Amino acid sequence: MTNVAILGLGLIGGSIARSLRVSDPDQGRWRISAWTPSGAGPREAMEAGCVDAAPARIDEAIAGADLVVLAAPPLACEQLVARLGGDLAAALQPHATVTDVASTKLALTRAALAAGIRFVGGHPMAGRETSGFGAAIDDLFVDRPWIVTEAVHGGDGALVEAVALACDARVVALDAATHDRLVAAISHVPLLVSVALAETVAGAGDSPDPDWTAASALAASGWRDTTRLARGDATMGAEIAASNAASIAAVLRSYRGRIDALLDVLEAPGGVDVAALRERLQQAKDRLEGRR
């Protein structure tokens, strides 16, 4: 029996609990405890039969745990790492490994090094626009990549991989720095691009765009798809961006250069070179579809 403590029980933490429960119908492999500051998610999970314990205190939740899963926003995870090496250290078993499900890895890896805890970073590449335990589903991770980064202070990477495999995910090994660079490009920058587009068309802050009411009535799948990420959890998005700022900024600068190049085409003194524009669109399509 492996004792797993999940600190944070929203969409990802809750889906891990549900997935582990489905993978272990006889409840002989995983014993799951869960804790959140409010306790609401763990109580709901207890009622649903997804966890075995929902202690009110964090030290009680991690007592006896073989694996502690940090399932909070990135900056909150960093604070928890510091606490596990500080005021919560006495409650943490000497052999316990700490992992996480946050979208950035390098900052957490460095925090674990400083805290002196056994740590292996993790990031299941799955999600939904909805949040909270009520949004959790047991098949969220099926055939999705679950990135596992380098071990710190002797953390048990095999145990982290076992949880990922029990959730039917595909384990992908990456070092923390490479993870942050790649994920900035395919996840974090798309979020900020989605937000910037929403601000441009609908308005930013307290200044709605005067055309937004009319435009929103015409919007269809193209608008829905390109603004989907902007409809996600704002706190989570802000903490992701803050914890991977350097990698995100590098990709955004490159993206800005591509936008400037498009402006040059559209505003060319002799008019738009349709053939050149079509070639650029075709090249992008071919590359995405694997033909280049």
pLDDT mean over 122-128: 90
Query: How confident is residue 127, by pLDDT bands cut at 50, 70 and 90?
Result: confident
Q: 43-92, pLDDT tens digit by residue?
A: 999 999 999 999 999 999 999 999 999 999 999 999 999 999 999 999 99
Alpha-carbon distance of 10 to 140, in angstroms, equals: 13
Strand 30-35 relative to strand 2-7, pairing: parallel
pTM of the predicted model as reported, rounded to 2 decimal places: 0.89
pLDDT mean over 260-271: 94
How high is the pLDDT of residue 255?
Answer: 97
Residue with tokens 């798809």: 225
Q: Which among 57, 42, 17 has a CA at the least distance from the CA of 166?
A: 17
pLDDT mean over 204-219: 90
Query: What does residue 213 show for φ and ψ, rounded to 5 degrees?
Result: -60, -45
Q: Is 203 left (phi over 0), alpha (psi -120 to 50) or beta?
A: left
Output the CA–CA distances (angstroms, integers) from residue 227 to 30, 90, 129, 207, 284, in the order listed: 38, 45, 11, 19, 20
Average pLDDT, the chain: 95
Alpha-carbon distance of 57 to 2, in angstroms, equals: 21
Q: 88-104, pLDDT tens digit by residue?
A: 999 999 999 999 999 99
Q: Which among 78, 88, 74, 69 has a CA at the least distance from the CA of 17?
A: 69
Coarse DSSP helix, strand, coil percentages of the chain, rounded to the nearest 5 percent: 55, 15, 35
How high is the pLDDT of residue 94?
Answer: 95
Domains of the chain: 2-174 (3.40.50.720), 179-288 (1.10.3660.10)
Q: What residues contact 16, with CB distance under 8 A and at least 6 apart?
A: 6, 69, 71, 101, 124, 141, 163, 167
Alpha-carbon distance of 58 to 103, in angstroms, equals: 23
45 close to 17: Cβ distance less than 8 angstroms: yes
Q: What residues contact 136, with CB distance under 8 A and at least 6 apart?
A: 9, 10, 11, 12, 13, 14, 15, 17, 18
Strand 30-35 relative to strand 67-70, pairing: unpaired
